[in-house]
Amino acid sequence: MDTVLIPYDGSTMARGALEFACETFDDAELVVLYVVNTSITFEPETYVGVKLGEIYEKREKEGEKHLDEAVEIAEEYGRSITTVLDHGEPSKVILKQIEERDVDHVVMGSHSQGTIERFFLGSVSERVVERAPASVSVIRE
């Protein structure tokens, strides 16, 4: 196994996915990805009256903080990681990164949405599992 991609959003499930990857893929390059969600519908009530550029800037700062945290977690396992901050709709960005980085395996957390929530919003992990040209492990809480 050469390259493992770990989408990381700072959640408990994402942390579990990163820890699993650190423990399981000893010889692989670990790439930790934070996606700045550029969808306006993402938490719109939080950003009423705020300029779009300010929203993305806030999300980028959050992403940088989460990636710094991921580096610390990997160091606890004696691992170094490559961090990537990218922009777009999360599942599309993950799929793009898989192609661009010639990823062999993806390890990601699942937020275990309810049936109604999944029907209206979909699930990033489900979309990735369905469309990824690499194998995918989904880590649940």
pLDDT along the chain (141 residues), means of 10: 93 95 96 89 56 82 97 97 96 96 94 49 80 92 64
Kindly list the structural domains of the chain, giving each domain's residue range(s) and its CATH number in brackets, ordered by start: 3-139 (3.40.50.620)
**Structure confidence at residue 120 (pLDDT):** 40
- Distance between CA atoms of 12 and 104, rounded to whole angstroms? 24
- Closest Cα partner for 95 from 20, 118, 86? 86
Residue 110 phi/psi, 5-degree rounding, is: -120, 135
